Amino acid sequence: QLQTRMEILQDEFKYFYGCSVIEHLKARIKKPESIIKKMENKNYELTYRNLVEQVNDIAGLRIICPLKDDIFSVVDIIKGMPDINVLIEKDYVTNPKKSGYASYHLVVEVLVPVMKQVIPVKVELQIRTLAMDFWASLEHDLKYKSNNKISKKVSNELVKCAKMINKLDNQMITITKECK
C-alpha cells in the first residue's frame, strides 16, 4: 500500500515537474525465520503481541532519492499524509552514525484492510541517496552477510568512504543548483 503511494508520488513529480524526488524504491517483507531470530536476539517472548508491539521492520520500504535535499522533501511529504502515523524518526543524514552510515529512518503505522477489519501495520522507511544506498548495501554485506569479521582497517576505510560520499552528495546539490 505504501509502496504504491510512493510510486504514485514518483510519477506525479515526473509528470508535473519533469523530474522526481524519488529515483527508485525497494520493498521487502521480513521472512518469518528472520523475525523469530530478531525476537530471540532481543530476548522477546515469541508472542503475537510482542511481534506487533516490538518489531518495527517486518515490512520495509527503502526510498532512494537523487539528491540529499530530496530526502527531506520526501520526509515532509510522508509526515504530511493524514493517514500515516509517524512512530519513530531518526535523522542519520544530518547526524551519521559513527560507522559512517547515513540514511533517514521513519517507522510509520498505516492502516491496512484485512478481511472485515482494519489493522495498524508498522513499516520501516529508509530514505537515502543513491550514493548512500551504495555504501550502506556494501557495508551491510561486509558486516552482516558474510561470516568474516571485518578488520579495524576496513572499518576505518568504510568511514572514509562514507565521508567522501557525503562530500559527493553535497557537490551534486551544488552542481544541480548551478544548472537551474
Active-site residue list: 124
153: cell is 582497517
**Number of Cβ within a 10 Å radius of residue 77:** 16
Among residues 2, 116, 15, the alpha carbon closest in space to that of 60 is found at: 2
Contact 42, 54 (CB under 8 A): yes
Please tell me the distance from the alpha carbon of residue 66 to that of residue 131, in angstroms, as a whole number: 9
φ, ψ dihedrals at 26, nearest 5°: -130, 120
Return all residues near 109 (Cβ < 8 A) that are at least 6 apart: 84, 85, 87, 120, 121, 122, 123
